[in-house]
Amino acid sequence: MQQSIALLKRHDMLKVIDEPLDIYLEIPHIAYAEIKKPNAKALLFTTPVDKRNNQTFSIPVLMNVFASYEQTKLLFGREIETIADEIEHLLHMKPPHSFRDKLAMIGDLFALKNVFPKRLEGKGECQQVVHSGRDVNLFDLPILTTWEQDGGPFITMGQVYTRSLDGQLANLGMYRLQVYDKNHLGMHWQIHKDASHFFDQYKEAGLKMPVSIAIGGDPLYTWCATAPLPYGVNELLLYGFVKKEKARLVQSLTNDIYIPEAVDIVIEGVVDPHEMKIEGPFGDHTGYYTLEEPYPCMEVTSISHKHEPVFLATVVGKPPLEDKYMGWPTERIFLPLLKTTAPDLIDYHMPENGVFHNLILASMKPHYKGHAKQFMHVFWGAGQMSFVKHAIFVDDKAPELNDYDAISRYILNRLSVARLFISEGITDALDHSSPEALVGGKLGIDATTPNDDIREIVALDDRTLLEKIHVNIPEVTGVRQYMVDTKNPVTIVSVRKHRPLHECYAPLQTLHEHLKIVIFVDDAKNDLENIYMLTWRIVNNIDAQRDITIVDDMIMIDATNKSDVDGFHRSWPDDVECTQSVIEDLKKRGIWDLESEIERAMQL
């Protein structure tokens, strides 16, 4: 970590803040504002304090370590695309047929010599200072409370190391960890995660599960913890492959789990499979709070750290945030692995305002009718890709997937009702919009082939269209049309809803000649001019089975918040938002320097 901090300093990618700042809201809010800037930097808070308990920490807090594409490449130490090329090369290695082929293969195999971690004897740097027994106190660490409605402080960049009951499999994951008291943590590992599978093994055996949590060290350890590797594959192998050097490990002090010897802080303990505790709420990367749910609880038995540790943390909420840049190498590096199950896949892209699992764009080489639908099934059955709610496929003639204006026009000019595929599958535990937890609607769009049988519409200006809609639907408050020069213009309609929206669809048939795709959003908290945040809201809020309705050949989409009015009986969470009193105080102190137009655009 110290080497990474020095590296960031040399490249003017680090801002050091010596002003005493509170671990409750202040530090996370500043990091949240910083990452919104076009020239965002990592932040090192040297004097974190806990104002509520009149406490000053000697451990600095580092945030936004992955603050940009350039910064991410710097920490990786090489081009991300090169890593993807190396993986693709390995996946396509063929048996050698000549002596020259064998020599070439020796070179390939030699390059893998650093993949496997090295276990060291003795203690590591991370165990220079040890607190155990009654000396264990999580409140000695500057653990942040990010949002006002959070259930408490959360560790947000913890590397969670677990192993299977038989000791044959090891896993590194990243899960948020709620602090309950001085020696208990909530373990938010979702039922689809490897650690949860291991947990089930211990529960069946009636045994407590050992866990070690590392914080800091090489930032690549933290990134590897997020990697969507297949079940049973140790993420530290990926570290060695990327870094071209072995991960150097030492055994934990109170269990036989190995952790990197140069991480900054290690928290060890056990999870009792029969003890569950309410975890949350937590303002998550969806931009919404995830609600209170029972999760396993870890009893902390030991905390160790370097002589001068650094506490690594991140802030999640409404995009764009640090996870945008952490997700970028994941997207690039894992493309070759995804191609093994979808060989005609050309590329894929997860826009950050789709918060990764809510929207994916993919290009492919279609060979037969239904090929794109086949790919939808492949994606929805492939590891963490199965959480994706909305998948749109284009052909090899499409623009670049991250050219949002061009790719949107390309899709809308090929879209028709017949090209929509609505299904059902598993959803991420963080998804709030489906009628029941963990299962919900999926939308696939096949835009791989031209569609000439598309009805043309008569375009109206926004004001005139609003007046015509308002005659039949008085709760409508605004209208904004996008892509009116395409075959499928998108009309965003804001409403103050007091009845199920499907009751409003029939009156819109009188405007059939003017409408193709109509998306309803709530009047509150939505700016019809901000297409970036509207996209975020829409893909977050819809369940395809419930919220997409075809009226003649018009596509009606209900992206409003759901409640009992809609027959929705789960709790609908609040948006994640900064606390305005904290922002105003930081402004008065000259610490908050985010421009007001960026504040408005990002809906802070």
Which CATH number characterizes residue 474's domain?
3.40.1670.10
Confidence category of residue 52, pLDDT binned at 50, 70, 90: very high
Task: Tell me the one-letter amino acid at 47.
Answer: T
- Six-digit token string for 579: 């606390």
419 and 379 both lie in a single domain: yes
Average pLDDT of the chain, as a whole number: 92
Which of the listed ranges 32-41, 189-198, 592-601 does the model predict with the highest average pLDDT?
32-41
Confidence category of residue 94, pLDDT binned at 50, 70, 90: low
Confidence (pLDDT) at 141: 98
505 and 443 both lie in a single domain: no
What is the pLDDT averaged over residues 188-213? 89
DSSP H/E element including 50: strand 48-50
Write the pLDDT tens digit of every residue in 557-580: 999 999 999 999 999 999 999 999
**Distance in angstroms (rounded) separating the CA atoms of residues 339 and 547:** 31
189 pLDDT above the threshold of 90: no
118 and 192 both lie in a single domain: yes
402 and 472 both lie in a single domain: no
Confidence (pLDDT) at 90: 73
| Strand partners of residue 132 | 302
Task: Tell me the one-letter amino acid at 96.
Answer: P
Residue at 580 is within a domain: no
183 and 248 both lie in a single domain: yes
Residue 52 phi/psi, 5-degree rounding, is: -60, -35
Domain range for residue 441? 322-447
14 and 131 both lie in a single domain: yes
Confidence category of residue 140, pLDDT binned at 50, 70, 90: very high
467 and 369 both lie in a single domain: no
Q: Which of 270, 286, 312 is the last residue of a domain?
A: 312
CATH number of the domain enclosing 197: 2.30.110.10
360 and 495 both lie in a single domain: no
Angle between helices 26-35 and 580-588 (to 10 degrees): 80
What is the pLDDT averaged over residues 92-112? 59
Could you tell me what percent of the chain has a pLDDT over 90? 83
Write the pLDDT tens digit of every residue in 366-420: 999 999 999 999 989 877 888 999 999 999 999 999 999 999 999 999 999 999 9
Confidence category of residue 113, pLDDT binned at 50, 70, 90: confident
Residue at 453 is within a domain: no
- Six-digit token string for 128: 């220079």
Residue at 86 is within a domain: no
Q: How many domains does the chain have?
A: 3
474 pLDDT above the threshold of 80: yes
Q: Pick the range with the lowest mean pLDDT from 106-115, 514-523, 547-556, 586-595.
A: 106-115
164 pLDDT above the threshold of 60: yes
pTM across the whole model: 0.94
Residue at 299 is within a domain: yes
**Can you tell me which residue has the tokens 């009951």?**
165
Residue at 402 is within a domain: yes
Write the pLDDT tens digit of every residue in 305-333: 999 999 999 999 999 999 999 999 999 99
Residue at 36 is within a domain: yes
240 and 305 both lie in a single domain: yes
Confidence (pLDDT) at 385: 87
Residue at 593 is within a domain: no
CA of residue 468 relative to chain centroid, distance = 40
Confidence (pLDDT) at 435: 94
**Residue 475 near residue 497, CB atoms below 8 Å:** yes
Q: Is 140 helix (H, G, I), strand (E, B) or coil?
A: helix
What is the pLDDT averaged over residues 2-6? 96
- Six-digit token string for 441: 């609607």
Dihedral sign for Cα atoms in the order 173, 175, 179, 185: negative
Residue at 289 is within a domain: yes
178 and 293 both lie in a single domain: yes
141 and 182 both lie in a single domain: yes
Dihedral sign for Cα atoms in the order 520, 523, 525, 530: positive
Confidence (pLDDT) at 101: 58
Confidence (pLDDT) at 92: 61
**Distance in angstroms (rounded) separating the CA atoms of residues 96 and 75:** 36
Confidence (pLDDT) at 260: 98
Provide the edge-to-edge strand list for the sheet that holds 42-45. 14-17, 42-45, 61-63, 311-312
329-335 contacts at long range (C-beta below 8 A, 24 or more positions apart):
329/72, 329/76, 329/80, 329/83, 329/223, 330/223, 330/226, 330/227, 330/228, 332/80, 332/81, 332/83, 332/84, 333/80, 333/83, 333/84, 333/87, 333/242, 334/227, 334/228, 335/84
**Distance in angstroms (rounded) separating the CA atoms of residues 338 and 340:** 5
**Distance in angstroms (rounded) separating the CA atoms of residues 556 and 485:** 19
397 and 483 both lie in a single domain: no
Confidence (pLDDT) at 340: 87
Q: Pick the range with the lowest mean pLDDT from 214-223, 467-476, 556-565, 585-594.
A: 585-594
**Distance in angstroms (rounded) separating the CA atoms of residues 152 and 318:** 19
